[in-house]
Amino acid sequence: MCLQMIQKPPVVFTQYDPAKVISQPELFQALASRRCDAVSWLWLSYGRALLADAEPCMEANEGAEATMCFLSSYENLSDMKVTPVPGEGYKLMLDKATLFLSETVEGDIFLYFFSPEKPCNRRDECRIDLTAYGSDAAACFIAALFGSYNTLQTYLETKRNWAPEEADR
């Protein structure tokens, strides 16, 4: 029997043009939502696209606290405010952008795009599961998301007056 060690390259999350990765139904959902939730819907869709393009590393996540330690090393997140949310994990705020990192009792790591008080936050489709990504990869993903926020906000503003019939052109 021979044991072969394979080292996988680090996970990289590429910044994309939102128009290329957010589908029309996702855009319509965001435009139809409350104004304060619209960017969060787009951000969630964008995050799913980032994960879909990255090869899952299938590493055990060391937990929300370990992910927070890795996040602290990102220079572009030096102004991020971190607030512990009792029993919920962490609230991550950078300017207007807010994410919620949560760890379950079983050790699953979830990233939420809406406040824990919002009813939609309880649905599985309103969160991203980071359990299969190591804490360093999860931190890289979160940093990439924060890096995309302003672009998504601009994209949303350009689409606010967009008529659905333009989609057929």
Residue 97 has a pLDDT of 95
Residue 5 has a pLDDT of 55
* Least reliable range by pLDDT among 35-44, 58-67, 125-134, 160-169: 160-169
For the chain, give every domain's residue range: 22-161
- Cα-Cα-Cα-Cα dihedral sign, residues 125, 148, 53, 135: negative
d(CA 144, CA 54): 12
Residue 168 has a pLDDT of 35
d(CA 21, CA 14): 12
d(CA 38, CA 27): 9
Residue pLDDT, tens place only, 33-90: 888 899 999 999 999 999 988 776 677 789 999 999 999 999 999 999 999 987 779 9
Contact present, 19 and 30 (Cβ < 8 Å): no
Residue 59 has a pLDDT of 79
Model confidence at 13, pLDDT cuts 50, 70, 90, reads: confident
Residue 121 has a pLDDT of 62
d(CA 41, CA 26): 8
Model confidence at 119, pLDDT cuts 50, 70, 90, reads: low
Q: Give 53-118 as a DSSP string.
A: HSPP-------HHHHHHHHTT-GGGTT-EEEEETTTEEEEEETTEEEEEEE-TT--EEEESS-TTS
Contact present, 44 and 126 (Cβ < 8 Å): yes
